[in-house]
Structure 1
C-alpha cells in the first residue's frame, strides 16, 4: 500500500532567499503552515529557518511539525566545483539529519539569472559537462548518505541544464539509483514541456520524492513564445494553485499510488514576491483540494 505524505514548504509562502525583507518571517511561515493543516515541511533556503538544530527542533515541535528534507543547489558541471557544492550540501544535510529529515533535494543552478534574465552560461551542456554533473551527483549522493543518512533527490528545474523530459532521462541514465533519485517537480516538468506520467511510467523505480505544483498554460505559452526568464514567469503567475493549471493532479497521484511506495509530496507554489496575506488561504484551499482527489494513499500526517 502506497503512502503519499503531503506537506508544504517555504516556497509556497514566497520564500526564495535566506533573508529578504519581502519575505514572510520564518515564525509566521511556521505558524501558518501548521494552521493550514500540514505536518511536514522543508527547510527552504539554508538560513531561512533556524540553523541551530535544537532551536529548530523546538520550533517544529511547538507546532506539531516535522521535517521531510533540506534543499540545496549544485553546479557540478563546472570546473573545480566539488568543494563549494559539498560545503553547502554538508551544512544542509547535517541540519536535516539532526532534526529528523531523511532527504536532501538537490537543484541544478540556472544558466540565466532568474530575476534579470542575464545569461550566465551556455544553456546546453557539453558531453563532458554532462559526465561531470552525473558523476559529481553520484559522489555527492553517496557521501551525504554514508555520512548523514540522507537521500539525494534530484530536482529538474526551469532555466537549468536538467529541465526537459529528454534531459531528465539523460540525467537518470547517468546516475546511480542507489544514491541519486528523482524529485519529480510536477510544475517544472510541465513548464518545460514534459510529461509527468511518462516519466513515472518510464522510471518508476527512480521516483524518490515529489514536489506538487501546477502551471498556468496561458502563461507558459507566453514564456515559450518570448523566451522569458523563470523569475519573470513567476511574477506573471506561471505557477498556480490546483486545480487551475496543469498537470491534472488526480491521475498523477493515482500513478504514484500504483507504484506501491512511501513518498513525500511537498506542495510548492512559486510566487516570489507575494503579499504576506496571500499564502495561507491558498495553502488551505490546496490542502482541501488534494484531499478531495479521491486517492486513498494521500495522507496529511
Structure 2
C-alpha cells in the first residue's frame, strides 16, 4: 500500500477518534486504544467501576461506524447461553426446525456487564470470539465479518459479579479502564451533557464498514521487522520468569501484542511498526493475561505494574539497555 494511502487511513482514524471523543470526554488515549483494538480485529474488555462511561464508550464506537449491524446484550444472572447464540425452534407450518439467530450475529456486539452472567453463559461467547462462528446442534454458522465484541464489566469486588474464566479473558485482545475525569473542566462538560440528556445514539457515523475493512487489511500488511518480532518475544518471555508471576503470557499473547502494535502504527498513518508502538499497547494487551502468585496478590501487586517492569528491563532494539 502506498504511503499516501496509509496516511489517509491515519487521517480517517483520527476523524473516527474525534467523533467518539465528542461523547467520551477527556480520554483521548483510552479512545485511541479502544479503536486500535477494533482495527486489529480483536475484542475489547472495558473494566471499571460503575458510572464512568464504559457502556457509553462502546455505544459511541458502534454508532460511529456506518453500515454496521449493532446488537446489545445486557448480561444478567438468569441469562441463558441460547439467549446469546440463538436457538433451534420448531416451525409447525413447515414441519421443520429453524434457527433463530441470537444477538451475536452482528458486526458489533455490545456485551454490557458481562461478569454479571453465570460462567456457563459467559462461556457461550468463547467460540464466537475465538472462531467467528456459532455451533448449534452440530451445525456451524458464521457471524458477520468483521465481528467485534466490546464487553464491559465491573470489578469482581462488586456484589453480584462473577470472575471471567481465564480462557475467555485470553480471547480479549485488550483490557482497558476509563477512570474518573482527569480534571474539573472535563467533569463539568460531562455534567452538561447529562443535563442536556445527550446520548451516544445521537452520534453520526463517520466511517463506513468498507473503510473499516480497508483499515483492517492495512493492519495485516503493516511491516513488523524481524528485530521487533524478537523484541515482542523477549517481552512476553520475560513475563514467564518474573518472580511475581505464576503464569506468564502465552504465544497467543505474543501474537496479540504484535498485531496490536501493527494497528497502533496504522492509527498513526504509518506502514511500519516501531518499538514505541509495541510499548504503547503492551499494558492493555498483556496485563489481563498474567496470573500472579499468591504472595503478589496479597501484596496488592498489579499485573499492569509488572508489565511496566518488564518493559523497563527488556532492551529496546537498536538502543541497548535503558
- TM-score, with length taken from structure 2: 0.30
Give the TM-score, by structure 1 length. Answer: 0.31
Write 1 or 2 for the structure with the bigger share of helix: 2
Q: Bigger relative contact order, structure 1 or 2, given CA contacts below 8 A and separation 6+?
A: 1
